Structure 1
Amino acid sequence: MDDIVKQALAKWPNVPHCYGWLGLDARGNWYMRDDRTQAQGPFRSAKGSMLRHDKLIEFIHRNYEHDAEGQWFFQNGPQRVYVELEAAPLVWRVAQQGANTFTVTAHTGAPAEVTGCLLDEEGRLYLAAPAGLGLVHTQDVGIAAEAVEQGLWTPEAVQAADLPGRFGHVLSPAERHAAAAG
């Protein structure tokens, strides 16, 4: 977390959390969701405006984490901006470094060590890592298939709907917050 964020948290500890305004799609793109977009429906059906400002995206990446309930958020100064997830909290980029050496990096740039490989009913490939569950970026599925073919990763068949419960992440903190508010 950036030092400036830590200082803002100390200065303004009681800023209310923000829900529904930021989304992460299955390709690792960030979306801003204004009131009009949120009124059109959940993130999967109404994404909003894709962020394109590199410095803002880098700031989000450095301050992206999860709470104890598995809700992923971006700590924006003193305010926690909870993220709507299309598929998973992380999107993995996979690269082949040698004949049987593969590297995995999160959309945030953080490296990962793969601890599990999963394939859902739609043919989407997920990788588990200590940082959390992530979906393999569509452009890298062919590279990941090489690791599978070499026996480095063995996909386990899963249902996508079961993944949040199994891996402890929340796809829609906004829906959870609304339900709790009642």
Structure 2
Amino acid sequence: MDDIVRQAMAKWPNVPDCFGWLGLDARGQWFLRDEAAQARGTFAQSKGDLLQHEKLLAFIARNYACDAQGRWFFQNGPQRVYVELEETPIVWRLQPDGQVQAHTGVCAVPDACLVDEAGRVYLAAPLGLGLVHSQDVGLAADWLEQQRWPLENVLASSLAQRFGFVRSPAQPSA
């Protein structure tokens, strides 16, 4: 987390959390969901506007984390912005040199590979469960043939509970 974010949190400790305004899709892209996008429905129904500003994306990546309830968030200064997830909190990119990198740029060493009923490929790592980017599934298949990770078949509906993440954090009731 950025020092400036820590300082802002200390200076303004009681800023209310934000829900519904930020989404992460299955390709590791961030979307801003303004009131109009939220009014049109869930993240799956109305993603909102694709964020493309490189410095903003880097700032989000550096300040992306998970709380004790499995809700992923972006710490935007003193305000915690909870993230709507299309699939998983992480989207993995497989690198030709053998590295596995999260959509945030963090490298990890996965310990298992999972495939769901629709053929989607996931990697489990200490950082968390992530979907393998659709462009990297061929490389994942090659690495599975090399027995790089153990393979397990799973139901997509079981992943959030099993790996402790929340796809759509709800604002707590007053």
In the TM superposition, residue 150 of structure 1 has moved relative to its aligned partner by: 1.2
In the TM superposition, residue 115 of structure 1 has moved relative to its aligned partner by: 1.1
Partner of 1:133: 129
Partner of 2:107: 111
* Aligned residue type for 2:101: T
- Counterpart-to-counterpart distance in 2, 1:4 and 1:151: 43
In the TM superposition, residue 149 of structure 1 has moved relative to its aligned partner by: 1.1
Partner of 1:146: 142
- Counterpart-to-counterpart distance in 2, 1:170 and 1:46: 18
In the TM superposition, residue 155 of structure 1 has moved relative to its aligned partner by: 2.3
Q: So what's the TM-score if we normalise by structure 2? A: 0.97
- Counterpart-to-counterpart distance in 2, 1:169 and 1:93: 20
* Aligned residue type for 1:143: L
Partner of 2:119: 123
Name the SS for the 2:14 alignment partner. Answer: coil
Partner of 1:181: 173
Q: Per-residue displacement from partner, 1:10-60 (whole Å, max 9, x unpaired)?
A: 000000000000000000000000111101111111100000000000000
Partner of 1:79: 79
Partner of 2:36: 36
Q: Which range moves more in the overlay, 102-111 or 153-162? A: 153-162
- Counterpart-to-counterpart distance in 2, 1:44 and 1:159: 19
Q: Per-residue displacement from partner, 1:106-159 (whole Å, max 9, x unpaired)?
A: 000000011111001111000000000000001111111111111112321111
Partner of 2:152: 156
- Counterpart-to-counterpart distance in 1, 2:37 and 2:47: 7
**Length, aligned pairs only:** 174
C-alpha root-mean-square deviation of aligned residues, in Å?
A: 1.0
Runs of 4+ in 1 over 6 A off after TM superposition: none
8 Å contact kept, 2:63–2:75? yes
Once the two structures are aligned, what percentage of the paired residues are identical?
61
* Aligned residue type for 1:137: H
List aligned pairs for 1:59-70, cutoff 5 A: 59-70=59-70
1:20 is aligned to 2:20: yes
Name the SS for the 1:166 alignment partner. Answer: helix
- Counterpart-to-counterpart distance in 1, 2:142 and 2:85: 27
* Aligned residue type for 2:85: L
Structure 2: gaps (5+ residues): none
